[in-house]
Amino acid sequence: MTSEVVEWAERHTQDAPQVLRARVVTLVSMASLPPGTIPERLAYAGRRALVNVCDHPGDRSVALDLLAADALITMALLAQAELDPTELGDFTQALQEAAS
């Protein structure tokens, strides 16, 4: 399943700056992603990147992770819309609740 998420991320970041694309692909390539749908796994990787950012407040070295987190959450929403648009509202709500 990891390769499926990586392939999805690679396809959807083709036009992104190379450094951001590489960070996104690295985050979704990590073996510790839990099982689930592509949207769930992208969202998990995005949350994990955000945790890294929050663990280093004010440290500019994590700016790339902040951009990657934004990209991954956006991509999770896109993937959910592609997978099942009727569930996009519930998926979005679950993401917001997980962030609380």
* Residues 79-98 pLDDT 10s: 999 999 999 999 999 999 88
Q: Which residue has the higher pLDDT, 55 or 59?
A: 55
Contacts of 53 (CB under 8 A, 6+ apart): 62, 65, 66, 69
Number of domains in the chain: 1
What DSSP character marks residue 85? G
Q: What is the pLDDT of residue 66?
A: 95
- Give the C-alpha separation, 96 to 33, whole Å: 19
Task: Write down the pTM of the prediction.
Answer: 0.91
- Give the C-alpha separation, 73 to 95, whole Å: 9
Range of the domain at 91: 2-99
**Predicted confidence (pLDDT) per residue in 13-50, tens digit:** 999 999 999 999 999 998 688 889 999 999 999 999 99
